[in-house]
Structure 1
């Protein structure tokens, strides 16, 4: 994209503000109150990407490796992840989710989807069509 017009800059500002507010409201819909947003994020990454080393998780979650080590220890203590020897490098471990963690994520997603669907029911058909059409581009932005 080249230089943005004033209208584009205003749209970017409105998008940023809207996405941040919606994300904040969505975070309050989680099921397991004892898990921090960071812990939920790690579980979500494991669900999306599969098992990973602590270093890989730290990179994906944009935290320092020592912080990720602490997060993994807390999740392991809660029975939500397990550490197993790395299949090729015995100096490392691989972290994977437990069935309990998957159940928490599934229920959290179900609850958040229901909340968002209820919220979306307040939109007009035209507004909903616009949101539905924008969903793939928003997904791409979130994963760049």
Structure 2
């Protein structure tokens, strides 16, 4: 439960309060991995193509990403971040880092060492 609560607190540190976790995940994926097709984004986020299409449409209307038709295959569309989308990702990451840094600063040295050891164990579990 503590892991879920920490994740929830971090997710609350957003640059855009009205943006859902799913919408931010799409922006973050495009920021980290570059342009995607709709199908690739749907696969990455483990949602259906129609669901991803709704998410992408909302983000496009907000000006956070663009859709560009492929020159060779008009059925294929490339989705990419706009400058506004990049700013949302950068500001959200900045806010999350600042919140976490402040929270960790309140811990004593032994607690920080314990947390670092636990993080390594959690990484191992996640990689299995």
Give yes or no for TM over 0.5. Answer: yes
Look up the match of 1:115. 99
Deviations along 1:24-71, whole A, 9 cap, x unmatched? 111111110121111111101111111101111011111111010011
Q: Does 1:55 align with 2:55?
A: no
TM-score scaled to structure 1, two decimals? 0.79
Q: 5+ residue gaps in structure 2?
A: none
TM-score scaled to structure 2, two decimals? 0.88
Give the counterpart of 2:24 among 40, 55, 58.
Answer: 40
Q: Report the number of matched residues.
A: 128
**RMSD value, Cα:** 2.1
Identify which of structures 1 and 2 has the higher relative contact order when contacts are C-alpha pairs closer than 8 Å and 6+ apart: 2
Give the counterpart of 2:80 among 88, 96, 119.
Answer: 96
Q: Which of the two has higher C-alpha Rg?
A: 1
3-state SS of paired residue (2:36)? coil
Report deviation, 1:141: 5.4
